[in-house]
Amino acid sequence: MSVQSAVLRPTRYRDMTARHKEWVLGYAMLVPAFTFIIGLIAYPAAWAMYLSFTDKVIGQQETFVGFQNYVWLSQWPNFGRMIWNTALLAVVGVALKAFIGMTMALALNEQFFGRTVIRALLFLPWTVPAFVAGLIWRWMYDDQNGLFNWALMGMGLISEPVSWLGDIRYAMGAVMSVVVWKGFPFFAIAFLAGMQGIPSEQYEAAEVDGASAWQRFLYITLPGLRHVMLITCMLSLIWTANTFDLVFIMTRGGPSNATEVFTMLIYDQGIRNGRIGEASTAAMMAMPIFAGLIIILTHYLQDKDEERA
């Protein structure tokens, strides 16, 4: 065997140094995670981005159209309204969820009879599938046979049914109420868990120093929960901005376009009309906002990890 061929011979695993073996093993163990990330996240995202530059229609060969879809979408008659509705639902929805969640968490952090049962019940709205929640609330808001109109008319507070989902003044509020109802338990549970991590000595010391309940909340609870609050709000902001099922079931974006959100356009163009290129464009246009939120969240979580280390 020549020197050259001996050098070029492929290295066998048992001939490797311990350090090299560790590298190989390390990379091998990363393969499943990489496979799933590439297969289920990177590839579909890249494909969606490509499709957004095409005129792809279901069952037909696509052609590259450059930024045509983006121009088309920016001229969509309800484009501004959709962005406003999406932002309103996300920002106000998250703020309300955080407020109610905090209130619930503070109450449930106290000792009282039946606390465990109430904590379990608190989770209920979070566990109800959105589809079921949408149908139940749609019925409650229904103008013909709905619970709210029945109750209000029975009490003599209104003389004719109110169109909660069909009146531009109430529709967004009705949808928002369900989004908040479905989402606040997540906040409450997260805040409650965060409160368990705040040392009780801090409260005791503050109490000895004469701090009021409000001051204890302001100077101990809130700072102690700031990491949990940020992460919870960020995640919820992303989820709420992506709300589709509740809006679809309750109002389908109506009345007129009063509750139309971004995801409705994606559904209408992609599923109803089979225009995958245009639907992908709508999804891509929302992506920078979500990517920004995710980057902030990841950055923050990394900082927190380093802080702990």
Partner 1 sequence: MPTKTMGTVLTRRGMARRTLLKTVGVGLGAISLAPVISACGMIPGMGGDKMTIWTDATFAPPSDDYQTEEINKWAKSKNIEVEITRETGDNVRQKLQAAIESKQLPDVTQVDDGRFTAFYPAGIFTDHSALFAEFGKQWGGWYKPGERIVTRDGKQWMLPYSIDSNLILYRKDILEAGGVKEAPKTWDELYDVAKKLQTPPNIYGVGFQFSKAGTDAESTFGLMMLSYGASIVKEDGKLGTVKSPEMLAFLTRIKSSWDMGVYPPGVTGWDNAANNTSLQDEKTIFIHNPASPLVWFRTNKPDMLPKIGVSAVPAGPKGQFNTAYIRDGFAILNTGNQKRMDLSKELMRHLYSKDVYRKWIELAFPSPAVAGMEDMEIWKNPQRKGFLDAAKTGILQGHPGPPSQAYSEFTNRQPLISAAARMAVEGWTAEQALDELAKTAEDVFSKYK
Binding site for partner 1 (CB under 8 A): 13, 18-19, 21-22, 24-25, 28-29, 31-32, 35, 55, 57-60, 72, 77, 142-145, 159-168, 171, 251-256, 258, 268, 271-275
Rounded to the nearest whole angstrom, what is the least distance from the CB of residue 13 to partner 1 in the complex?
7
Identify which of residues 105 and 285 has a Cβ nearer to partner 1 in the complex.
Answer: 285
Rounded to the nearest whole angstrom, what is the least distance from the CB of residue 100 to partner 1 in the complex?
26
SS3 74: helix
Identify which of residues 221 and 280 has a Cβ nearer to partner 1 in the complex.
Answer: 280
Rounded to the nearest whole angstrom, what is the least distance from the CB of residue 23 to partner 1 in the complex?
10
At residue 64, φ and ψ (nearest 5 deg) are: -75, 130
State the CB neighbour count (10 A cutoff) for residue 159.
7
Rounded to the nearest whole angstrom, what is the least distance from the CB of residue 66 to partner 1 in the complex?
16
Q: Are 247 and 264 in contact (CB under 8 A)?
A: yes
Rounded to the nearest whole angstrom, what is the least distance from the CB of residue 167 to partner 1 in the complex?
7
Identify which of residues 145 and 298 has a Cβ nearer to partner 1 in the complex.
Answer: 145
Residue ranges of alpha helices (H) inside the chain are 3-8, 18-37, 43-51, 68-74, 79-108, 115-122, 124-127, 130-141, 147-154, 171-196, 200-208, 213-216, 222-224, 226-241, 245-250, 262-267, 276-308
Identify which of residues 45 and 222 has a Cβ nearer to partner 1 in the complex.
Answer: 45
Annotate 134-146 with b (16+ C-beta within 10 A) or e (fewer).
beebbebbbeeeb
Identify which of residues 194 and 253 has a Cβ nearer to partner 1 in the complex.
Answer: 253
